[in-house]
Homo-oligomer: A and B are copies of this chain.
Amino acid sequence: MTHGKAPTDPRSTLVVTAHAGDFVWRAGGAIALAASRGEKVTIACLTYGERGESAKAWREGRSLEEIKALRRGEAEQAAATLGAEVVFFDAGDYPLTATRELTDRLVAVLRDTRPDVVLTHPLDDPYNGDHPAAARMALDARVLAQAVGYPAEGEVIGAPPVFFFEPHQPEMCGFRPEVLLDISEVWETKRKAMECLAAQRHLWDYYTDLAVRRGVQLKRNAGPNLGLPHTTYAEAYMRPYPQVTAVLA
């Protein structure tokens, strides 16, 4: 019914985030895993996080344009490390406001990249309204891009599964780990990508600890596992739409 991609096309992943650093901390493992399998990963980064997540640079007296350039450079380096391409919308953060125009630009990206899977923020975050704004636009655009009547370039897409990555304070955002993704084999890559974000050095260990913690949880839910390595690293995700499968596992 929809014009899917040919079976020979590589799988495609689209990551929609509010700020320049989000994709690294929250989904770096998933991105590196997909890239390591030869898949295409595109990151739509709606803002540079220039106002809300660059306190250090502001305190050092940098200008807005300097800060944007700094954040952009770090994010590009991190994306390259993970094996992904990043697209910047420069929509302005703090607050990022959902608009029809931004949503329309996301429809264009969706019809262009034709993702098999979409990653974005959860819909609630009482600590940062930019995250839900980005997620809301990502979900809206994903629905619009499926409609043949929607006036945008490109062919309609199917209904790719969506995954919400883990917010900074999960329990306060209604986040429950519904999917635990084993990222052990790309862990070193994710760590390297995190280290590209020099201004947020205090988060390097924080997100390393989180990966270990989610890895412990993965092992507690892993069924009859025989040979999991001693330290398993994992990322947690939610699914707003049902999983479609041919096997219960």
Residues of A within 8 A of B (CB): 1-2, 4-5, 7, 13, 30, 33-34, 50-52, 54-55, 58-59, 67, 94-95, 97, 100, 103, 114, 116-117, 119, 126-129, 139-140, 143-144, 147-151, 157-161, 163, 169-172, 175-182, 206, 209-210, 212-213, 216-226, 236-237, 239-249
Could you tell me the distance between the alpha carbons of A47 and B246 in the complex, rounded to whole angstroms?
30
Which A-B residue pairs are the 7 nearest by beta carbons? Answer: A158-B224, A51-B149, A4-B224, A4-B226, A58-B148, A171-B176, A179-B243
Instruction: Select which of B54, B67, B94 is within 8 A of A144 by beta carbon.
Output: B94
Question: What are 9 A-to-B residue pairs whose CB atoms are below 8 Å?
Answer: A33-B247, A58-B148, A95-B103, A116-B249, A159-B221, A159-B222, A160-B224, A169-B220, A177-B242
A242 in complex: contacting residue of B103, B128, B172, B212, CB < 8 Å: B172
Asked if B217 contacts A242 (CB within 8 A), the reply is yes
Cβ–Cβ contact A52 & B236, under 8 A: no
Which of B51, B206, B242 contacts A221 (CB under 8 A)?
B242
A158 to B220, CA, bound (A): 9
Flag if A94 contacts B126 (CB, 8 Å): no
Instruction: Assess whether A240 is in contact with B126, with CB atoms less than 8 Å apart.
Output: yes
Q: How many copies does the complex hold?
A: 6
Contact across chains for B242 and A248 when beta carbons are under 8 A apart = no
Is B244 in contact with A147, judged by CB distance below 8 angstroms?
no
Closest to A170 in B: B171
Q: A159 with B223: in contact, given A95-B140, A147-B55, A209-B213 (CB under 8 Å)?
A: yes
Say which residue of B30, B160, B248 sits within 8 Å of A163 (CB atoms): B248
A50 to B13, CA, bound (A): 30
Contacts A117-B248, A148-B55, A242-B179 given: A143-B157 contact, CB under 8 Å?
A: no
CB contact under 8 A between A241 and B126, given known A95-B144, A181-B248, A224-B5: yes
A202's nearest neighbour on chain B, judged by CB, is B216
Per a CB cutoff under 8 Å, which of B67, B163, B180, B249 touches A149? Answer: B67
> Are A225 and B158 in contact (CB-based, < 8 A)?
yes
B4 adjacent to A119 (CB under 8 Å): no
Contact of A2 among B116, B157, B158, B224 (CB under 8 A): B224
Closest B residue, CB atoms, query A62: B149
- Give CA–CA (A34, B247) in the complex, Å: 8
